[in-house]
């Protein structure tokens, strides 16, 4: 791709970071006929792609194999190949550290890895969710320190990812793509880059606007989920079913959008992104109390579920210590294998700390892979789904509502079910079997 802001089928699009965001994007360019190069430090990912295989459950092998057979898909761990790319799109994690402050180490290490291979005429786009100013402060400064003039030699843009893994209605390219550029020329280059595969591109006036746009989207959800989680606790004390309340409120045709309670927040966005803004806002003397309060409420939900489970076990004369507790669902959302930031990990930790024998069942996650925060669970396998196994547990806690769950059998085999997702509402159950949490 050149500074004239045009793409040809000979253009090479590089995607750095081949996870839940990067891989769909890489395949979108490959499917559109562009030469697409995926780069990742984890050799298992390029190796799988080169073999025509996927490693993300909702992306079929056939999609990878088709792109590989067409000759439009390549993948590597060799970052010296950055020089081959006309555009580079960075899709790396932006987690929080132990103090709930932004950890930009993946962004910084990635930009430092690609800088030696940069050349004039390239476009560099950051998609990782982050605080306003990151693109200017972390990317532009390093690129210009290498001797390039941003806006002339190299064009830098920010375009927030909007992936929703497992959503059948929205794939990567039919979600409107927000793009902001460091200069007007950068913005033109970004619009051309994404316009080649996205149905709609939404240009904004700066990278900072684009960065804050993504934070607003996720803060909106986090705050509303925090609100309904707080109402759930209050409604429970009052003997009111919050799920019935939400259904009734949803009949209003205007001014109300339903959000649903749960055992805590999961995924790489909602539990993390709001804290990027609260951290940056402090630099400007702003205390974002509303956002922080929602975060406190949502982070307290796993303990609330544990407390409700303890009460339910106690009502049956069973202390939680020594009880066998089965957690239904390790993935953070229904029908995917994505376990990033899943609240089920907090439940596993909490029940184990209290002396319970705890296990999980998830047909989408048969074995716990490596995680940054919960390495002690790596290698733990899902229990088998059969009557003898399920009856061996004193309690089942529904943490994720997968369609694959056989809830009828669960009701037949489990004496006590703690339901955090209202999943059992569709099953006829005996009085007292299901406790909502």
Place of tokens 């993300």: 56
Place of tokens 């430090």: 41
Q: Which of 299, 322, 338 is the last residue of a domain?
A: 299
Residue 382 sits in a domain of what CATH number? 3.40.50.720
> β-pairing, 417-419 with 395-398?
parallel
User: What are φ and ψ of residue 272, in 5° steps?
Assistant: -110, -50
Count: domains in the chain: 3
Tokens of 13: 């699009």
Torsion angle defined by CA atoms of residues 151, 152, 154 and 159, in that order, rounded to the nearest 10 degrees:
20
Q: How large a percentage of the chain has pLDDT more than 70?
A: 97
State pTM to two decimals: 0.89
6 in a domain, yes or no?
A: no
Its sign, for the CA torsion 266, 272, 273, 274, is: positive
Tokens of 267: 């995924």
pLDDT tens per residue, range 139-181: 999 999 999 999 999 999 999 999 877 777 777 789 999 999 9
277 in a domain, yes or no?
A: yes
Q: How large a percentage of the chain has pLDDT more than 90?
A: 83
1 in a domain, yes or no?
A: no
pLDDT tens per residue, range 38-90: 999 999 999 999 999 999 988 999 999 999 999 999 999 999 999 999 999 99
- Same domain? For 313 and 418 the reply is yes
What is the per-residue pLDDT for 1? Answer: 44
List, in sequence order, every residue forming a beta bridge with 102; answer none if it has no partner: 96
- Same domain? For 330 and 363 the reply is yes
- Same domain? For 391 and 351 the reply is yes
Query: pLDDT-based confidence at 3, cuts 50/70/90?
Result: very low
- Same domain? For 352 and 293 the reply is no
Query: pLDDT-based confidence at 4, cuts 50/70/90?
Result: very low
Tell me which residue of 120, 122, 37 sits closest to 86, measured CA to CA.
122
227 in a domain, yes or no?
A: yes
* DSSP 8-state symbol, 392: T
Clarify whether 186 is annotated catalytic. no
- Report the C-alpha gap between 16 and 89 in whole angstroms: 6
Treating both helix axes as pointing N-terminal to C-terminal, what angle do 61-70 and 22-31 enclose, rounded to 10 degrees? 50
What is the per-residue pLDDT for 234? Answer: 97
pLDDT tens per residue, range 361-411: 999 999 998 887 788 999 999 999 999 999 999 999 999 999 999 999 999
Q: Which of 146, 178, 205 is the last residue of a domain?
A: 205
Instruction: For residue 212, give its domain range.
Output: 208-299
**Are the C-beta atoms of 160 and 129 separated by less than 8 Å?**
yes
- Same domain? For 292 and 321 the reply is no
4 in a domain, yes or no?
A: no
- Same domain? For 140 and 28 the reply is yes
364 in a domain, yes or no?
A: yes
Active-site residue (options: 91, 186, 269, 395): 269
What is the per-residue pLDDT for 298? Answer: 93
Residue 253 sits in a domain of what CATH number? 1.10.1040.10
Spatial neighbors of 360 by CB under 8 A, at least 6 apart, are 326, 327, 328, 329, 330, 344, 348, 380, 382, 383
Segment 19-44 mean pLDDT:
96
- Same domain? For 201 and 266 the reply is no
- Same domain? For 317 and 434 the reply is yes
> β-pairing, 155-158 with 177-181?
antiparallel
Q: Sheet with 201-204: list strands edge to edge.
A: 73-76, 35-39, 12-16, 87-90, 123-126, 155-158, 177-181, 201-204
- Same domain? For 332 and 435 the reply is yes
20 in a domain, yes or no?
A: yes
List, in sequence order, every residue forming a beta bridge with 13; answer none if it has no partner: 36, 87
- Report the C-alpha gap between 122 and 139 in whole angstroms: 14
Q: Which of 151, 177, 205 is the last residue of a domain?
A: 205
What is the per-residue pLDDT for 383? Answer: 98
- Same domain? For 106 and 240 the reply is no
> β-pairing, 434-436 with 417-419?
parallel
Query: pLDDT-based confidence at 266, cuts 50/70/90?
Result: confident
- Same domain? For 282 and 399 the reply is no
- Same domain? For 174 and 186 the reply is yes
What is the per-residue pLDDT for 104? Answer: 94
């Amino acid at each position: 791709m050149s500074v004239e802001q045009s793409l040809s089928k000979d253009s090479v699009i590089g995607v750095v970071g081949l996870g839940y965001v990067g891989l769909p994007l890489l395949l979108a360019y490959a499917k559109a006929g562009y030469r697409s190069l995926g780069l990742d430090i984890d050799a298992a990912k390029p190796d799988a792609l080169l073999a025509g295989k996927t490693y993300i459950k909702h992306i079929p092998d056939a999609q990878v194999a088709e792109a590989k057979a067409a000759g439009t898909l390549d993948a590597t761990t060799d970052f010296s190949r950055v020089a081959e790319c006309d555009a580079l799109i960075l899709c790396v994690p932006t987690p929080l550290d132990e103090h709930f402050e932004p950890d930009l180490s993946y962004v910084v290490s990635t930009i430092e890895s690609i800088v030696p291979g940069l050349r004039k005429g390239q476009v560099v786009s950051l998609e990782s969710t982050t605080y306003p100013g990151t693109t200017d402060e972390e990317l532009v400064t390093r690129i210009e320190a290498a001797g390039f003039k941003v806006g002339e030699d190299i064009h830098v843009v920010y375009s927030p990812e909007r992936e929703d893994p497992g959503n059948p209605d929205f794939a990567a390219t039919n979600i409107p793509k927000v793009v902001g550029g460091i200069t007007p020329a950068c913005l033109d280059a970004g619009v051309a880059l994404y316009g080649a595969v996205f149905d709609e591109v939404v240009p904004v006036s700066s990278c900072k606007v684009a960065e804050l746009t993504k934070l607003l989207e996720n803060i909106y959800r986090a705050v509303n989920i925090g609100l309904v989680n707080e109402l759930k606790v209050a409604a429970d004390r009052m003997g009111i079913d919050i799920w019935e309340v939400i259904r009734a409120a949803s009949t209003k045709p205007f001014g109300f959008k339903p959000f649903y309670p749960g055992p805590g927040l999961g995924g790489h966005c909602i539990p993390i992104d709001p804290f990027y803004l609260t951290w940056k806002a402090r630099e400007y003397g702003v205390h974002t109390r509303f956002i922080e309060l929602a975060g406190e409420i949502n982070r307290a939900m796993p303990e609330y579920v544990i407390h409700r489970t303890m009460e339910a076990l106690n009502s049956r004369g069973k202390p939680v210590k020594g009880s066998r507790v089965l957690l239904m669902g390790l993935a953070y959302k229904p029908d995917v294998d994505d376990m990033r930031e899943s609240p089920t990990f907090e439940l596993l930790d909490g029940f184990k700390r209290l002396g319970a024998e705890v296990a999980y069942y998830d047909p989408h996650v048969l074995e716990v892979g490596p995680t940054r925060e919960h390495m002690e669970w790596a290698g733990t396998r899902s229990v088998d789904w059969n009557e003898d196994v399920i009856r061996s547990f004193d309690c089942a806690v529904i943490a994720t509502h997968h369609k694959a769950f056989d809830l009828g059998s669960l009701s037949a085999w489990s004496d006590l079910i703690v339901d955090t997702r209202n999943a059992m509402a569709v099953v006829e159950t005996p009085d007292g079997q299901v406790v909502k949490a």
